C-alpha cells in the first residue's frame, strides 16, 4: 500500500503577513512524511494560484508579488500524490495590505472661544490601514496621550480655555503600521469671541422706545391739527 501523504505545513520564508504594495513574499509548503513525487498546489480563497511537482523531499516554494488589494487574503496549500485523488490541506496564512496614512484634518465644532469655555478638537485621517494612532500638540508640546483607533473614526480631546495661550496653535499627527510614514495636520487656532457689552441691550431698548414715541407722535399730530383747522374756519 502506498504511504499516505500527510497534512503539509505552510510557512512564510520571505516577507511579512502585513504587506505593502509591490512587495514580494515567499511561502514554503512541505508534506512530511511522504513519498515523492508529490504535487503541491497553492490556493487563495479556494482558487488555485500555482502548482509545483516535487520528486524529492524538498519543499515547494511559491513567490508572490502583492500588486493590488486582490492579492491579499487567506492562502493555503494542498499536497497530493501525482495521479491520485484526494490530498491533504495545510494551515492557512492571511496577508493584510498596509495602506499609507493620509494627512489628518484637525477641526473643532466652534472656531471662536472665550476664557472659561470648554472646547473640543478632533483629528481624523480619511485613508490608511487600521489601526491609526493620533497625537495632539499645542505648538511643539504634546498635550495628550496617544489614541489608537481600531475603527475609522476621529480622535477627540477636550480643552479648557483659561488664558490667551490656550487659543493655539494646535496640530495633530497620525501614523499606522505602514513603515516610516507619519502625517501632520493643518494648524488650528481658536479666535476670541466678542463679548457683548452689558449696556448694549439697554441702548437697544431705549432706541426702540424712542422710535415708538416718534411713531406715536406722528400718528397723534393729525388728531390735534384737524380740530384746530375746523375751528379757524
Fold of 9-97: Immunoglobulin-like (2.60.40)
Tell me: cis bond preceding 165? Omega within 30 of 0 counts. no
Name which residue leads in pLDDT, 191 or 84: 191
Q: What is the pLDDT of residue 220?
A: 72
Question: What does the alpha-carbon distance between residue 221 and residue 200 come to, in Å, rounded to a whole number?
Answer: 32
pLDDT surpassing 50 at residue 1: no
Q: What is the pLDDT of residue 100?
A: 92
Structure confidence by residue, pLDDT tens digits, 52-84: 999 888 999 999 998 888 888 899 999 998 766
> What superfamily does domain 105-192 belong to in CATH?
Immunoglobulins (2.60.40.10)
Contact of 150 with 131, CB cutoff 8 Å:
yes
Contact of 112 with 158, CB cutoff 8 Å:
no
**Minimum mean pLDDT among 33-37, 68-72, 106-110, 179-183: which range?**
33-37
The residue-averaged pLDDT of 176-202 equals 81
Alpha-helical segments (H) within 80-153: none
Question: What does the alpha-carbon distance between residue 104 and residue 124 come to, in Å, rounded to a whole number?
Answer: 5
What is the radius of gyration, based on Cα positions, of the chain? 38
Enumerate the CATH 2.60.40.10 domain ranges in the chain, comma separated.
9-97, 105-192
Structure confidence by residue, pLDDT tens digits, 94-132: 998 899 999 999 999 999 999 999 999 999 999 999 999
What's the start-to-end Cα distance of the chain, in Å? 143
Per the prediction, the chain carries an average pLDDT of: 87
- Inter-CA distances, 31 with 88, 122, 182, Å: 9, 53, 43
Q: What is the pLDDT of residue 224?
A: 65
Q: What is the pLDDT of residue 151?
A: 95
- In terms of average pLDDT, the best of 33-37, 73-77, 83-87, 220-224 is 73-77
Structure confidence by residue, pLDDT tens digits, 135-176: 999 999 999 999 999 999 999 999 999 998 999 899 999 999
Name which residue leads in pLDDT, 187 or 214: 187
Amino acid at each position: 500500500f502506498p504511504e499516505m501523504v500527510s497534512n503539509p505545513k505552510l510557512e512564510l520564508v520571505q516577507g511579512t503577513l502585513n504587506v505593502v504594495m509591490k512587495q514580494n513574499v515567499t511561502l514554503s509548503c512541505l508534506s512530511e512524511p511522504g513519498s515523492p513525487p508529490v504535487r503541491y498546489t497553492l490556493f487563495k480563497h479556494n482558487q488555485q494560484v500555482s502548482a509545483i511537482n516535487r520528486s524529492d523531499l524538498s519543499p515547494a516554494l511559491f513567490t508572490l508579488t502583492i500588486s493590488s488589494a486582490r492579492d491579499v487574503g487567506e492562502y493555503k496549500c494542498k499536497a497530493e500524490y501525482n495521479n491520485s485523488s484526494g490530498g491533504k490541506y495545510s494551515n492557512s496564512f492571511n496577508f493584510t495590505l498596509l495602506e499609507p496614512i493620509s494627512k489628518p484634518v484637525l477641526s473643532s465644532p466652534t472656531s471662536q472661544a472665550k476664557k472659561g469655555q470648554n472646547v473640543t478638537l478632533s483629528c481624523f485621517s480619511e485613508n490608511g490601514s487600521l489601526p491609526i494612532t493620533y497625537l495632539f500638540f499645542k505648538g511643539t508640546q504634546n498635550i495628550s496621550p496617544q489614541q489608537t483607533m481600531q475603527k475609522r473614526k476621529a480622535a477627540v480631546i477636550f480643552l479648557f480655555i483659561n488664558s490667551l495661550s490656550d487659543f493655539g496653535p494646535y496640530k495633530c499627527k497620525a501614523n499606522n503600521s505602514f513603515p516610516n510614514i507619519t502625517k501632520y495636520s493643518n494648524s488650528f487656532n481658536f479666535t476670541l469671541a466678542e463679548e457683548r457689552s452689558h449696556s448694549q441691550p439697554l441702548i437697544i431698548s431705549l432706541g426702540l422706545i424712542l422710535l415708538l414715541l416718534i411713531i406715536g407722535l406722528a400718528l397723534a399730530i393729525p388728531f390735534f391739527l384737524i380740530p384746530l383747522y375746523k375751528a379757524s374756519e
